[in-house]
Amino acid sequence: MPWLGYALAFSASVLWGLTYCLDERVLAGLSVTRLYFLHCLCGTAIAGAILLAQGHTPAALFRLDATATPRGLFLLTLVTATAAAFCILASIKFLGAHRSAVLEISYPVFVAIFSTLFFGGRLEWPVLIGGGFILLGAAIVVLAR
């Protein structure tokens, strides 16, 4: 069902766009740390409820299958996701939602680079050209007065 993947990716884009705008307003009266904490609480409650509804036990929510996922990789993704969330919230607070979003959206370039360097991915011409356009677009928006 590739169409579902595309629909979900587009939905995420729409929701992130709305979230950035809402976060910009909320960060006028709330610290980055408090907002991130509240985001996490909400996400934990929703994900926990879904997992419990799927038949997982409460204890299983905190267990890691080390054969499927190495602990170091698991911890690294938690640290990088947390650091990224703090960085984007702080960026929204300092630059505003529109500038932060344009810079943050350059992440596909880094996905391509890191997947090639660390996981044997291949950089292909369409990815390089698209990444160049992303960086060029970000530069145009950031440098515009």
pLDDT in tens, 62-120: 777 767 777 788 889 899 999 999 999 999 999 999 889 888 888 888 888 899 999 88
3-state SS, 68-106, equals CCCHHHHHHHHHHHHHHHHHHHHHHHHHCHHHHHHHHCC
Taking the C-alpha atoms of residue 24 and residue 22, their distance in angstroms, rounded to an integer, is 5
- The residue with tokens 């979900």 is 8
- The residue with tokens 């640290």 is 79
| DSSP character at residue 23 | H
What does the pLDDT average to over 20-27?
96
pTM for this entry: 0.82
- Would residue 96 be called left, alpha or beta, if left means φ above 0 and alpha means ψ between -120 and 50 degrees? left
Asked whether residue 4 carries a pLDDT value surpassing 90, the answer given is yes
- Please choose, from the candidates 95, 83, 81, 77, the residue with its C-alpha nearest in 3D space to the C-alpha of residue 20: 95
The first and second tokens of residue 22, run together, are 């809402």
**Distance linking the first and last C-alpha atoms of the chain:** 44
- Residue ranges of the alpha helices (H) in the chain? 2-26, 32-53, 71-95, 97-104, 107-119, 125-143
Write down how long the chain is.
Answer: 145
Asked whether residue 2 carries a pLDDT value surpassing 90, the answer given is no
